[in-house]
Amino acid sequence: MTSSNEKAPAAELSGRLKWRMAAGIFFTVLAIYVLTSPGRIDIIDGQARYDVAYHWLLEGRPLLSDPLIKDSMSVKGRSGLNYSYYGPAGSVFAMPLLWLGFLHDDPPGETSRFFFSLTSAVFGALIAVVVFLFYLELRVPLRKALAWTMLGAFATYIWPISNSSFDNAQHAFFVIAAFYLGFMSAERKSRLLAMTGGLTAGVLILYQEYFLLIIPALAISTLNWRDAKEPASGREQAGGAEHRGNPQGRQLIHAARTVLAWIRSAYQRPGVARESFLRFALFLVSTSAGGILSLAYNHLRFGSFLQNGKVVFAAQRGYPLLGNPVTGFLTLLVSPGKSIFLYSLPVILGLWGFRALWRLQPEIGAVLVGVTAILVLFISCISFAGGDWCWGPRYLAPLIPCWALPFPFVSVKGRLQRKLMLAILAAGMLTQGLALSVENQRFFFERGLNDFFWAEDPWYYFRHSALYARVGEAVSLKDGLPPSARWFNSIPDAGWLTYTVLGPPKHIPRRQAPQWLTERKVFYLPKPWPLWMWRIKPDLRPINLEAWLGALLGMALLGLALILRSFPIITTAPSPDEGVLAQRLGID
């Protein structure tokens, strides 16, 4: 027996039920993401964004004046002051968390840095909410939508990138949110939603200007060309007969004809096609708000609307911005060290279910193809395609929630395919567990790599893999700290716990980094903050450990209670034919 809630599409669900489920997902995912986060700024990029947010809040100016990183992470701007070359969004969206940290920043700076490190966890939980709502709009049954939402949150690359001080999870949220709002504008025939989607996409420009490239592809979500029909001519029918043996070619020809019919209809008369065009245009125009703010921020820092500091910084540090596109493309897709399919194996399921989703919603399929092709090709052309120093291909994180949309449409026939799908999901969860276990920078320091090793050796990740090395790193945690480990972090004099890890001082050659590494506890302790923080004296901790664990447990229980209350079927014993995970995912 099934619940009436299970098969109810989004249009038939009460708003109260849908949003209660969404709130339950948010609280549950957020509690787990926060519990498994490092609890400290885990990369120097995050430390720079923190310092900008800190000065912006306290002084009203987005300066970067941290003496430990300003020489390596800033560019001289107006009045000879130091400014970050990053966009403002990564600092602005962290400000509420910093403000909370300021309420009890004891020891000084520790609590506010701890709060800052949770910024992407909030956005990661919001990604799960948007994906869930998207599933419902695609008429995915409630039980199936919940199951795939949770698997997308914990079996893909979104989990570890949401636990990082990198801001790529924030990029992913605004991509999927703009995609969802554009799709909803088409479903609801709403110009206001199209404009809201454009404003959301415009925020991406406030992170990185290259997101301008994918915004036209995201705007395709506002279109509705399914109603644009045109009778086929005799020649077209004959052409269709020629392609009967090639289903993919037939689909492409049909899609091209549909788009042409839609354009012709929009030009000739008012109707569905013209309204779609207006939503598309409104989406694109609305993104200009983000572009204007980005130009104004450039002028505020450097006195020029077009100067953002990135080119100047690259010239100062002596590395090329552009690289070999073939190397970059192969690195992102097939290399042992950075392949998106290794770090987020369930993406394969997205490819598996894509054809079924394309038949149902061709506009969504067009967005997926367009955004993926543009982003992958662009990232392949830059010299630091891997995004180092980091875990996995972080620049492709915005694609993960997009390719989670086809998950519920995977068609599995037979026991072998079912086992294959479950094996992919299990491997995905195992990979994410490994990602959360050990400090990511241990891999790079153990090998004595230079800061810009990726420019010196573009093929490095075809011989080395942080993912494969992580197995040994995780196993080594059982050995405890090495005898030489004296300090927690890389800055022994300060004794900071939440400050980012910096490399060896300049007088120590990088080839001696492995020895330097063994003197720092942070590389040999489990990464999640509840585990390493137990070893710290209570008066030195950035937070009250017991209170936080209790609050997060309460948050998780609240989230589960909201889900259970909205979803009564999972509170009852399953029938014999519903007791298998594959069946709970909606697989026949």
pLDDT tier at 318, thresholds 50, 70, 90: confident
Q: What pLDDT shows up at residue 229?
A: 47
- Mean pLDDT on 458-487: 95
Predicted structure pTM score: 0.91
- Identify the CA nearest to 553 among candidates 163, 158, 27: 27
Mean pLDDT score of the chain, rounded to an integer? Answer: 89
Proportion of the chain above pLDDT 90, given as a percent: 76
Q: What pLDDT shows up at residue 3?
A: 45
Q: Helical H runs in 303-413?
A: 310-317, 325-333, 340-343, 347-360, 362-381, 399-404
What's the pLDDT tens digit per position in 135-153?
Answer: 999 999 999 999 999 999 9
What's the pLDDT tens digit per position in 355-397?
Answer: 999 999 999 999 999 999 999 999 999 999 999 999 999 999 9
Please check whether residue 127 is in contact with residue 172, taking contact to mean a CB–CB distance below 8 angstroms: yes
Angle between helices 362-381 and 325-333 (to 10 degrees): 120
The single-letter code of the amino acid at 555 is M
Q: What pLDDT shows up at residue 247?
A: 57
**HSE of 275, CA atoms in CB hemisphere, 13 A:** 15
Q: What pLDDT shows up at residue 234?
A: 42
Q: What pLDDT shows up at residue 108?
A: 87
Output 271 or 278, whichever has higher pLDDT: 278
The burial class, CB within 10 Å (0-12 / 13-18 / 19+), for 125 is buried
Please check whether residue 441 is in contact with residue 501, taking contact to mean a CB–CB distance below 8 angstroms: yes
pLDDT tier at 238, thresholds 50, 70, 90: very low
The single-letter code of the amino acid at 34 is V
Phi, psi for 82 (deg, rounded to 5): -90, 130
Query: What Rg value do the Cα atoms of the chain yield, rounded?
Result: 25
Q: What pLDDT shows up at residue 263?
A: 63
